[in-house]
Amino acid sequence: MSDHKPLTAFFLVLISAFTLCAQEKAASGEQPNKAVIKEVRGYRTRIREMIRTSLKHGQAYEHLREMCATVPKRVSGSPGAAAAVLWAKQLMERLEFDNVHLEEVMVPHWEPGNNPSLRVTSPANAESTRLPFTPLGGSVPTPLEGITAEVLEVQSIGQLRRIGDQAKGKIVFFNRPMDQTLLSTGQAYGGAVRQRTRGAAEAGKVGAVAVIVRSVSTRSDDAPHTGAMSYQDGVEKIPAGAVSMLGADRLSALLKNKKGVKVCLKLDSQWFKDELSYNVIGEITGSEKPDEILVVGGHLDAWTTGDGAHDDGAGCMHSVEALRLIKEMGFKPKRTIRCVLFMNEENGLRGGRAYYRAHLAEMDKHVLALESDSGGFTPRGFSSDAHKEAKIVLDEIAKLLVNAGAGKVYGGGGGADVSPMRASGVILMGFRPDGHRYFDLHHSRNDVFSSVNERELELGAACIASMLYVVADLKDTLKHNPAPKQRARR
C-alpha cells in the first residue's frame, strides 16, 4: 500500500495544477461557463425529438412545392413578387404565427424580357450558331435588331484594362471560369463573379458595345446563369448577358481558330419605376422576454431563369418551418423568434436595409439574426461572427446537431439580408449546407423544385429550429458583439 503514496501525491499535484490552469482560463474569459454548458446540454432530448419529428412529417418540402407551383416567378417589383408576398403572408396565417404582417419597402423593378439571343454571324458556317444566353440582372436592352460586332475574349477585368484600346467598338467576352480546385465553392464563386457584377461598367469605360459573361457556375451544361450587375455613373450603359458554360467553351474555341468572329446579341430586358413591395413577417412571441428578438429569414425574391427553389425558396421555407416545428413540439421559448422573408436581396438589398431602418430602435433587443441563403442541401453547420463568449455557447448548441450534420460553427457572417444589423452589434449567423451542388443550379433554369431533396431540406429546417430554440430559451441573454468600430481598434 505504502508503495502507492508517492504516486498519490503526484496525482494530487497534477490535479491542483489542472485546477489552477482552469481558474486562470476562467479569469481570462476563455473558460466556458459551466452552468450554461450544462444548461445547453439539457436540451439534448428535446432537440433529438424535434429532428425526428422533422424527418417524420416536416412540412418545409410541401410548402416549397406549393411555393414553386404557385409563385415561381418572383423578381423584385414584378406582379409575381407581389403574389409571393400575399402567398407567404397567408402561409404564416395558416400556420397561426403571431403578429403576421407586412412591412413596406420600395424596390427596383427590372424584367428580363422574353427573347434573349446570342448568335454567331461570322463565320457564317460556324458549327453552332446559337449560344444559350440570358440577360444579366439589371442590363439595359439592345436595339430591336440587336448589336452585331466582333468579339474580344478576356479572362479578367485587369486584362481588359491592360488592352483597353482593343475593346473599342467590340463585344467583350469575359471567360474566366470558377476555380474548380477550391474546396469552397463559395470562395470559387467570389473569385469569378466580379466579371459579372462589374464587367459591363469596365467594358463601357473602354468603348465596348456589349458584354458577354461566362456563366459563373460549377456545372458544364447549356443553362446560362444570370445574377446582379451594376453600371457606373458617367459611363455608357451597355447591354450584358451570360452565356452557358458549354456555349462559352464553343465561342472560345471558335475565337482560337478563326479571325474576326462576330456575334449578334439581342436583349429585350426592361427597367420600370420603383414599386412598393413588402417584407413578410410572423413570430412566435416569447413566453418570458417577448421584447428580446431572434430573427430568422431568407429572401422571397428570385431571378426568373428558374423558380428560385434553392435560391432562396429553400431558405424561406427553412425559416417558416423552423417556427412551425417549434410550435408543433409545444416548445415555448422565452424570447420572441421572428421569421422575416426579405424582399429584393438579389438586386438591391432594399428589404434587408428597410428592416434594419424600421427596427433601429429595438436593435439592442435583437439577440441574433440567422439567415439561410445557401440552398436546401444537407446541413454542414453554421457560420457566425459571434464574440468569443457567445461563440462558446453556439458551439455547444451545434454539438447537439453533430448527428444531423450541423455540428460546427465556422467563422464568418450571416448573409446579405441580415448584414445591416452588424452595425448594431447583433450576432449574425448563416446556415451552411453542403455547397458542392449549389452553383450547378444558382440563378439558372436548373433551380427548380425537382432539384431539392426532401430529407435534406427538412433536416436543414430542424437544425435551424434547434439553434434558434436553444438561444431563444437560455436563462441568460447572449451579449451583443462589440460595435464594428471598437472591434477594428482591438
Residue closer to Zn ion by CB (options 283, 373) is 373
Q: Least distance (Å) from Zn ion to the CB of residue 439?
A: 12
Q: Least distance (Å) from Zn ion to the CB of residue 312?
A: 4
Q: Least distance (Å) from Zn ion to the CB of residue 226?
A: 12
Contacts of 142 (CB under 8 A, 6+ apart): 210, 239, 265, 266, 267, 268
- Sheet of 133-135, strand order: 117-122, 262-266, 147-154, 171-174, 210-214, 240-243, 133-135
Residue closer to Zn ion by CB (options 74, 422) is 74
Which helix (H) or strand (E) segment holds residue 24: the answer is helix 5-27
Cα gap 422→485, rounded to integer Å: 11
Cα gap 260→248, rounded to integer Å: 17
299 bridge partner residues: 342
Quick count: other Cβ atoms within 10 Å of Cβ 65?
A: 17
What sign results for the dihedral spanned by CA atoms 29, 388, 427, 90?
Answer: negative
Question: What is the grid cell recorded at 476?
Answer: 441568460
Residue closer to Zn ion by CB (options 141, 186) is 186
Q: Least distance (Å) from Zn ion to the CB of residue 122?
A: 38
CB 98 within 8 A of CB 272: no
CB 103 within 8 A of CB 81: no
Q: Least distance (Å) from Zn ion to the CB of residue 241?
A: 20
What sign results for the dihedral spanned by CA atoms 100, 339, 90, 307?
Answer: positive
| Residue 150, CB-side half-sphere exposure with 13 Å CA sphere | 9
Q: Least distance (Å) from Zn ion to the CB of residue 177?
A: 21
Strands 379-384, 427-433: pairing is antiparallel
Note if 104 is an active site residue.
no
Residue closer to Zn ion by CB (options 356, 439) is 439
Residue closer to Zn ion by CB (options 342, 356) is 342
Query: Residues 345, 346, 396, 458: which is the catalytic one?
Result: 345
Quick count: other Cβ atoms within 10 Å of Cβ 356?
A: 21
User: Which residue ranges make up the site for Zn ion (CB under 5 A)?
Assistant: 311-312, 373
Residue closer to Zn ion by CB (options 59, 372) is 372
As annotated, the active-site residues are 345
